[in-house]
Chains A and B, each alone.
Chain A
């Protein structure tokens, strides 16, 4: 197992696809800083007596973007091997296929939250620095208030990476797995809003993108398309299910299918 993890770690470090996904995740930092800067400019342009307004949580926004990038990283770590035929080289080197999947899960499940954590802390620090002491609603609070939501969002990034990995192991196709991931990330949250009451909120509460906010909500999470019905432990459980169910479903298939 250690050999499989070490091999997957080398693969991830030398994979251009993973590098692009990590760069996309890191790009959320300059984007968030730019938004903060534009908001600060707009704020400063307001006449002294009329300074009022809000900004949506920028760590939350960065976390949202990163879940897709890191989910795609997870999906490509498997589907690219199927696309190129490299999966045969992999399974010839490591015939115990379950271990290969587990090793990929360990590597993606560790790289995704660490990356997310680093970017989120940087976003928190940089946007606070840009916005300064402007009395805008939604400016990130001190770290003592923000670390718990940031940690929950890092966990959500891990969930998406493992979800992408599991979907790709099931579908063996980059297009199908990334499309399914994108649907869970964006399309489904948009669609469930229009379900009849109370199903819209019930469905919205269990979607993977809304779970971090139910564990620990950042300073302003208003206007979310997701529901808010789960207790923190329930949201954590739902995270575990989203991360593990596709992987566990793929496991037996992986063993019997032709590579």
Chain B
């Protein structure tokens, strides 16, 4: 990470001992049976999940699914109607200098439009006893030093996101909570954000990253928590989600025989319109060996993934129907 990492007084290098060994994971963010209602609308409905150190946890759901509400409850901004949202072993509100433990970016617009980015970081830093020099350094590191004296209200959304990230990181927190941080970023910015979050997790920090776009999260996150209509619909790894919907596309001059054979061996078989079969529950090797043992020639076989986007749409669409 650019300059900020290079200077020990700005960002102490060895605070987190790297990703913990498997099996010793402790949840840093614990959402348990969280429920939040606004009037008659239930925004979050008995949601439970965890986020662990050394991992980027993607928090996915369509607009209005309850992601932001969950994050606000986690930061003690909204009071849950049921359940709890804990960070670092307790409620956020009990942290003494919270910006030095948990860096959060909920809404890049959550600042006084008339104040300059520099002044914004200065008061934030002072409130948590973070040296002023770190705030100035964070401005440079986030690439907004050139605009540091302008009105924050005049900044582009991408610039404000960078300012929000500078605010979240200047306290060198061990937990990062970011709500749709790539909104408004240009391609360079998106990449900067992705590299940043991966590096943070690699150092053993806990990263919770929300988005309504599967494509973006899948490239950054290791684990996925998917919600729809306030409910958990999937808590899985990116890899498992891809494999879950994956199959093998095979072509054979004897598609009928092959379909019967594979179905007998427990695979799901779906004939396509062009004579090809889509096989699920078996990988390419198993399909090939089964065909060889029965003497059925194959003209081609290839793994096919359902795209993550499709898997995500399927998950959230199901939940949508369930709630109606």
Interface residues of A (CB under 8 A from B): 3-4, 6-8, 10-11, 14-17, 80-81, 84-96, 256, 258-259
Contact = CB atoms under 8 A, between A and B. Distances in A.
B77 interface: yes
B177 to A, nearest CB: 9
Interface string B120-162: 0011101111000000000000000000000000000000000
A86 B110 contact: yes
B111 A89 contact: yes
The list of the 4 closest CB pairs from A to B, nearest first, reads: A14-B119, A7-B127, A16-B114, A95-B93
Contacts of A85: 107, 109-110
Given A3-B126, A14-B123, A88 B72 contact: yes
7 contacts: A14-B122, A15-B114, A84-B110, A85-B107, A91-B77, A93-B98, A259-B72
B115 A16 contact: yes
B163 to A, nearest CB: 11
Contact of B106 (A3, A88, A94): A88
B95 interface: yes
Nearest to B38: A258
B50 interface: no
Nearest to A3: B127
Given A84-B109, A89-B110, A89-B111, A3 B128 contact: yes
Contacts of B211: none
Given A84-B112, A86-B110, A96-B93, A258 B126 contact: no
Contact of B99 (A80, A93, A256): A93
B72 A258 contact: yes
A10 B126 contact: yes
A5 to B, nearest CB: 10
Given A3-B128, A89-B110, A14 B92 contact: no
B131 to A, nearest CB: 13
Contacts of B111: 84, 86, 89
B253 interface: no
Given A10-B122, A85-B109, A86-B112, 4 more contacts: A3-B129, A8-B123, A92-B99, A258-B77
Given A84-B109, A85-B110, A10 B123 contact: yes
A256 B77 CA distance: 10
B35 interface: no
Nearest to A257: B79
A86 B129 CA distance: 19
A258 B93 CA distance: 13
Interface of B: 72, 75-79, 92-95, 98-99, 104, 106-107, 109-116, 119, 122-124, 126-129, 167
Contact of A92 (B75, B94, B114, B122): B75
A4 B112 contact: no
A91 B92 CA distance: 11
B116 A93 contact: no
Contacts of B127: 3-4, 6-7, 90, 93-94
Contacts of A3: 126-129
Contact of A7 (B109, B124, B167): B124
Contacts of A88: 72, 75, 77, 106-107, 110
Contact of B92 (A11, A80, A95): A95
A15 B112 contact: yes
Contacts of A16: 114-115
A89 B72 contact: no
Contacts of B124: 7, 89, 93
Nearest to B104: A92
Nearest to B97: A3
Contacts of A256: 79
A220 B114 CA distance: 42
A96 B92 CA distance: 11
A8 B124 CA distance: 10
Contacts of B95: 95
A86 B113 CA distance: 9
Given A84-B109, A85-B107, A88-B107, A15 B115 contact: yes
B126 A6 contact: yes
Centre residue among A6, A81, A92 by max chain B CB count within 10 A: A92
Given A85-B107, A86-B110, A92 B77 contact: yes
A84 B106 CA distance: 13
Given A11-B123, A88-B110, A93-B127, A259 B116 contact: no
Contacts of B112: 11, 15, 17, 80-81, 84, 86
Given A81-B112, A95-B98, A7 B79 contact: no
A81 B123 CA distance: 14
Contacts of A92: 75-77, 92, 98-99, 104, 106
Contacts of B167: 89
Contacts of A80: 112
Contacts of B122: 10, 14
A85 B76 CA distance: 15
A156 to B, nearest CB: 28
Contacts of B98: 92-93, 95
Contact of B76 (A11, A89, A91): A91
